[in-house]
Amino acid sequence: MASTFEVQNISFSYEAIPALCGLTLHIGEGERVALLGANGSGKSTLLRILDALYFPSAGSVTFKGDTLTEKRLQEEEFSLKFRRRVALVFQNPDVQLFNPTVFDEVAYGPLQMQWSKQDVMRRVEETLQFMSLAHLRDRPPYRLSGGEKKRVALASVLVLDPEVLLLDEPTATLDPKSQSQVVDLMQQWKGTAKSVITATHQLEIVEDIADRVYVLEAGTVIAEGTPSEVLSNTELLLRANLIHAHRHSHDGVVHSHPHLHGHARHEHEH
């Protein structure tokens, strides 16, 4: 499988606080990969590095064979192509949405790419229809619901038809219907040329959105495997703080009950 990202032994700190520590991973073309980890494990920082918003203090990141450095991203031609090909959707859509209307929000990226007015209009209309947002085209984004804002944030990057989608907790804080709509959309990319890298701690969606999983803890990769391999490894999930053990007593016998955060399944150990 051809490589999309090669991440070699990268480190990154916020002032003196380490966020990534010697992290290595590989993303192939057209792969759907989940980055699983508790809050503070380094998932969001890694996505920002893959999007060349941050740069590692040590190690290297290559995209399709090109090493991502501050100097490289200052080259206008490379930067424009990279921003067209790789898109990040932030966890909080309010960080991403700043235009006066939904239409303007979705049109912003294509305009920055210097597309013709005709191409901008066509792609924006197609994307609004595809994301079921056409009826909200003239609404200010700040007046939308959480689920609608998330769909607009997604539309604002999907309009560019990127090769790589980086999604930071795409279903967090959404109501069940909106969460289901986002997962359905992500399932449509299976088997396409798009590489989709999703940071999440919601175990219940992993099998639907990923073919391969990396588990992060304290800024490094502690495990890698298929969704079924990772989700069935209770010891690993406990270590990564993705589930927690409840202890309770029945008739004088103490039971340990691993509980999956936000997950429908319960497993009992006696």
CATH number at residue 71: 3.40.50.300
- On whether residue 25 sits in a domain, the answer given is yes
- On whether residue 237 sits in a domain, the answer given is no
User: Domain range spanning residue 96?
Assistant: 3-232
**pLDDT at residue 270 is higher than 70:** no
Contacts of 62 (CB under 8 A, 6+ apart): 3, 5, 6, 68
Q: What is the pLDDT of residues 196-211, one digit of tens each?
A: 999 998 899 999 999 9
Query: Which residue, chain included where needed, has tokens 């049109």?
Result: 107
How does residue 224 score in pLDDT terms, banded at 50, 70 and 90?
very high
How does residue 186 score in pLDDT terms, banded at 50, 70 and 90?
confident
H helices, E strands: number in the chain: 11, 12
| Number of structural domains in the chain | 1
Q: To the nearest whole percent, how much of the chain has pLDDT over 90? A: 66
Residues 144 and 102: their CA atoms lie apart, in Å, by 10
**pLDDT at residue 92 is higher than 80:** yes
Residues 177 and 152: their CA atoms lie apart, in Å, by 16
- Per-residue CA distances from 233 to 12, 133, 172, 219 (Å): 29, 40, 23, 20
Q: What is the pLDDT of residues 111-144, one digit of tens each?
A: 988 889 999 999 999 999 988 899 999 999 999 9
**pLDDT at residue 267 is higher than 80:** no
- On whether residue 142 sits in a domain, the answer given is yes
% helix, strand, coil for the chain, step of 5: 35, 30, 35
CB-count exposure of residue 153 (10 Å: 0-12, 13-18, 19+): buried
Query: Which residue, chain included where needed, has tokens 């304290």?
Result: 218
- On whether residue 244 sits in a domain, the answer given is no
pLDDT confidence of residue 34: 97
Residues 78 and 39: their CA atoms lie apart, in Å, by 33
Query: Which residue, chain included where needed, has tokens 């309009």?
Result: 159
pLDDT confidence of residue 33: 96
DSSP H or E segment with residue 36: strand 32-36
- On whether residue 166 sits in a domain, the answer given is yes
Is residue 34 within 8 Å of 170, Cβ to Cβ? no
- On whether residue 55 sits in a domain, the answer given is yes
How does residue 212 score in pLDDT terms, banded at 50, 70 and 90?
very high
- On whether residue 215 sits in a domain, the answer given is yes
How does residue 246 score in pLDDT terms, banded at 50, 70 and 90?
low
Residues 161 and 87: their CA atoms lie apart, in Å, by 9
- On whether residue 269 sits in a domain, the answer given is no
pTM: 0.86
Is residue 248 within 8 Å of 255, Cβ to Cβ? yes
